[in-house]
Amino acid sequence: MSWHSDVRLTFPHKDDIPMSRSSSWSHTCSASSGMSDLASTVARQSSRESSRGSSRGSSRGSSSDASDSNMPDTQKLLEQKYGVDMSVYSQIEDLTHLVGPLTEDSVLRCLQARFYSQHYQNKIGPVVISVNSYQHRPSCQALLGPVKASVLLQGVVKDAVTQHADTGHSQAIIVSGESGSGKTFCAMQLLRQLFDIAGGGSETDTFKHLSATLTVIQSLCSATTVTNPECSRVGMFIENFITDTAIYRAKIHAYLLDRERVCSIQRYEKNYHIFYQMLSGLGTEEKAKLHLTGYSIHNLRYLSSGSTLQNELEDKARFDAWKSALSILGIPFSDVMRVFSAVLLLGNIEFVEGTGLELDLVGNNEIKAVAALLGVSGVALYRGFTTRTRNSRGQVCKSLADVNMANATRDALTKALYFRTVSAILKRANSIRRPTCNSTLSDSIESNLHQDSLGLSGVRDMPLSRNPSLTSSVCSNYSKKTRVDGFISIVDMFGFETAECNRLEQLCINLCAETMQHFYNTHVFRSTMQSLREEGIQADIEVTYFDNEPILELLSSKRSGLLSILDTECAQPRTSADTFVSKAKVHHRINNYFFEPLPKASSVFGIRHFAGRVVYDASNFLTNNRDQLSDDIICILSKQNCNFGFVSHLFARETKSSSSSGPGPKGMKHRILPSSSSGRNGSDEVRGTLSSDFQNKLDSLIRTLVHTKPHFIECIKSNDRCEMDMFDKDVILRQLRSLQVLDTVQLMAGGIPHRMRYKSFNNRYAVFLTHWNPYQTSSQQEHCKAILNSFLKAMDDSKLPYVSTQWTLGKKHIFFSEGTRQQLEAMRVEKFDNAASLIQAVWKGYLQRKLWPERRKTLQTQQGAPKVTYPVQRKRSKTKESGPKKDPRLLQQASSYYKISLEAAPAIPATRSYNVSGNVRLSYPQSRIMKDDFPKVASDDNVLCRGEEVKVIGPASARGHLKVQRRNVCLDVPYHLLDLKTVPAPDGMDI
């Protein structure tokens, strides 16, 4: 059964849509229009829009501020070249409103026109396309600095917040794009907006805490790469838990991958920012204490091997900001500095062949300094590097390490010290206020998701492969059910990248980029098409898109994926990179996405990723994937041998398990950075590899995302040289292709990309029904039809501009076009606005009438004049009317819809007489304990002291406050200062 506002049953091709009443201004151009036709049509559209003079509706361009007078010269040149009025193009905010044939060229030209008129954000229906203009550095500016988020990004956040509030479902704003495309910058802008709109603002403790954490992470986990001077070497999934008043907690899940960078940097690249910042920011005395006197980026080997360009002033300023942020998190600065200084100095220690049996050491002073900084003995440290304990069938034997082993142990210790410190800082930052654990990734209050209403059932249940045997670890878990808490998350994962020499880290990063692209494809293209097919709906437009599932299979299939072969190789005692590559070649010889680069080399292979070809050098794949550190060195850092508590704490788990079976090394291997899942089975040795850990985490992330309502932001970099205001067409085109922008535009403009379960649709849009009878027993589909009928009528009455509206009714879902979605949403908002004005008008009228006798008395006494005239209804002027129009029909409708009696006074909105803790409803009054003194400064004795038991009598009118009664005085106390006295009472009611 299908139905359509324009009597078309299925969705026709965009170019075939004739000019008609409901084929709106966005579809008025014939398919054959050339460039000049296009320009004139766009101009027609623009003039029509301006004549409407309305700024309503999300379908409209909001870029009217781009005037000719301040149009940049480049734009004028473009106009001369193409003969097109670029200022008209620049007003097309939504690419689905492009007129004429939708081609790469028209999309590119529109983006270019908007770029040169300084409109860097565009949209394709609900998807936002953000072009990086390289105007701001660093990305944290977007969170803390004066950078204002664009209207479109604000719109995404508002949408997520509204949907979260309306439905209680978790929302995920997923930011994707290549490395350097501005993902982190966008993510920061989004976070700021989220706090401004729903989080209680930037003055809240949660915001301060989060911004401090992000400032710390930015220095610790960002580095200069060839593609991006501010490249984040960490993937982030930031969960924001929201109550009805504020964001009460933000939790960062960080994915640390780039371990090699600490001890080996590629040409033109740099180590992590923090090292350069500390060398510029530390004072002479501090450096002396840290044994860094006389060292600079030129004589520290871990820094000097890469680019040594440095802006010392900027680095110093950033270091100061980092130091203050660290203190906000309560992490001892001096401890962290000791570890990082040791890391830097470790690079200057080198083991070389000696004349005797033992290895010679270059960097005697450095090893002493490192030992002092780590609080261990220098001799013990030397022994730790140069001896190797082995456990062969229960027999522990010691041997001397060779040069390679000793230097490898040094590098492994460097990585372990750095990443364990970063991880400890993150753990500390996340550990503040921890509600009950319940979900895959998060730990917070419980809530249930109703997948169907999100139209996600297709995504969840959908087999990700046409081939049922696909067992990719990333794909296979899509279908697992998890319960996720209500949160709004921002996902800034790794973007596609290619370096001069691509190592295991790049492979994992590109696996992540492939996975995120696959998630997008699945959500935007595949699930809709599959649902259409399942419900027997014939689509006229079959949008083609590049499905990257075979690449994911090549990388992560459990049976024969490259990472699986790598893991198998890592488990073998004697193997090499060449063996791994040759096995990979045997398995994937005929795979289209796997290739052998020229000139041929035994340890090199190539992959055709969705965003481009990458050649990988597998020389260090095995060592990096094993990610191991021997217990010879770990034992030295145990509590017994190390007098620096911070460091011994970093290795506490390993040293504890070693010492439980007697002193000294046992020949065990531990992970450089253990994952949370490793060692869970209680075994001493930590299992897993770097790639398997990462795949598990990615899997877990995707499982969480599948249960959220996603909002997509696709970032595009404007050029490869990080230059401001430079629009490189080739670079942009490459990204438009890889991100499938044109396919998305075609789907959104001409197809029916949205679908909703009838029940959810009916619940959301019941507002269109003039007479709603909740007891009516018609089917959901009938109900939906009635709503659509009313919607059509309302469209006729509405002053909103028409857009093309199409829909089709399936068995379980209603499918509708982007135009319909925009129209439905805009009119729903209009209905609510009208109803709210009406309710307010009725209430105000009632209040005034009720107050009038009292007021009249006052007036009489004041004036002493007995003559009081009753307020007379002002005569309405026929020409001019001010205030909300009192349409009796509308009044009647609204009052019947909201069940309001026009005679009786409106009920006072009920204040919630309870609050919720865990899954238990607690009623007031409650006994709570003060966590801190409040207020901090008070003249009288009305100070609630820390530890004092107080009586909470209900919620206060101020956001995030509760009313506390004490000696007949009521105080509004911030919620976070009040601890529950007892665990939810057993008589509490389960909700």
Ligand X SMILES: Nc1ncnc2c1ncn2[C@@H]1O[C@H](COP(=O)(O)OP(=O)(O)OP(=O)(O)O)[C@@H](O)[C@H]1O
Site residues, ligand X (CB under 6 A) = 120, 130, 132-139, 177, 179-185, 228, 230-232, 495, 715
Residues 6+ apart with CB under 8 A from 456: 527, 706, 707, 709
The residue (of 44 and 136) whose beta carbon lies closer to ligand X is 136
Please tell me what DSSP assigns to residue 934: B
Dist. CA 353–CA 360, nearest whole Å: 6
Binding site for ATP: what residues are annotated?
A: 177-184
The helix/strand/coil state of 701 is helix
Hey, what long-range contacts does 761-766 have (CB within 8 A, 24 or more apart)?
761/787, 761/814, 762/787, 763/453, 764/166, 764/828, 765/791, 765/824, 765/828
Q: Which of 154, 240, 264, 22 is nearest to 801 (CA)?
A: 22
Dist. CA 699–CA 687, nearest whole Å: 18
899: left (phi over 0), alpha (psi -120 to 50) or beta: left
Minimum distance from CB of 121 to ligand X (Å)? 8
Minimum distance from CB of 228 to ligand X (Å)? 4
Dist. CA 284–CA 292, nearest whole Å: 9
Indicate the pairing of strand 754-757 with strand 709-717: unpaired
Q: Which of 232, 160, 144 is nearest to 192 (CA)?
A: 144
The residue (of 720 and 933) whose beta carbon lies closer to ligand X is 720
Minimum distance from CB of 143 to ligand X (Å)? 11
Minimum distance from CB of 197 to ligand X (Å)? 19
The residue (of 27 and 270) whose beta carbon lies closer to ligand X is 270
Minimum distance from CB of 494 to ligand X (Å)? 6
Alpha helix segments (H runs only) across 255-332: 273-281, 284-289, 301-304, 312-328
Q: Mind spelling out the 3-state secondary structure of 179-230?
A: CCCCHHHHHHHHHHHHHHHCCCCCCCHHHHHHHHHHHHHHHHHEECCCCCCC
Which amino acid appears at position 736 of this protein?
L
The residue (of 182 and 960) whose beta carbon lies closer to ligand X is 182
The residue (of 228 and 556) whose beta carbon lies closer to ligand X is 228
**Side-chain half-sphere of 870: how many Cα atoms within 13 Å?**
4
* DSSP E strands, 783-843: 807-809, 813-816
What residue number has its CB nearest to ligand X? 182
* DSSP E strands, 408-523: 487-492
The residue (of 171 and 227) whose beta carbon lies closer to ligand X is 227
The residue (of 133 and 307) whose beta carbon lies closer to ligand X is 133
Dist. CA 669–CA 657, nearest whole Å: 12
Dist. CA 630–CA 916, nearest whole Å: 49
Other CB atoms within a 10 A radius of the CB of residue 980 amount to: 16
Minimum distance from CB of 253 to ligand X (Å)? 16
The residue (of 180 and 960) whose beta carbon lies closer to ligand X is 180
The residue (of 185 and 276) whose beta carbon lies closer to ligand X is 185
Binding site: what residues are annotated?
A: 177-184
Minimum distance from CB of 120 to ligand X (Å)? 6
Minimum distance from CB of 497 to ligand X (Å)? 7
The residue (of 17 and 142) whose beta carbon lies closer to ligand X is 142
Dist. CA 694–CA 438, nearest whole Å: 22
Minimum distance from CB of 209 to ligand X (Å)? 22
Spatial strand order of the sheet with 813-816 comes to 754-757, 813-816, 807-809
Minimum distance from CB of 721 to ligand X (Å)? 12
Alpha helix segments (H runs only) across 572-709: 577-588, 621-626, 631-636, 645-650, 652-660, 690-706
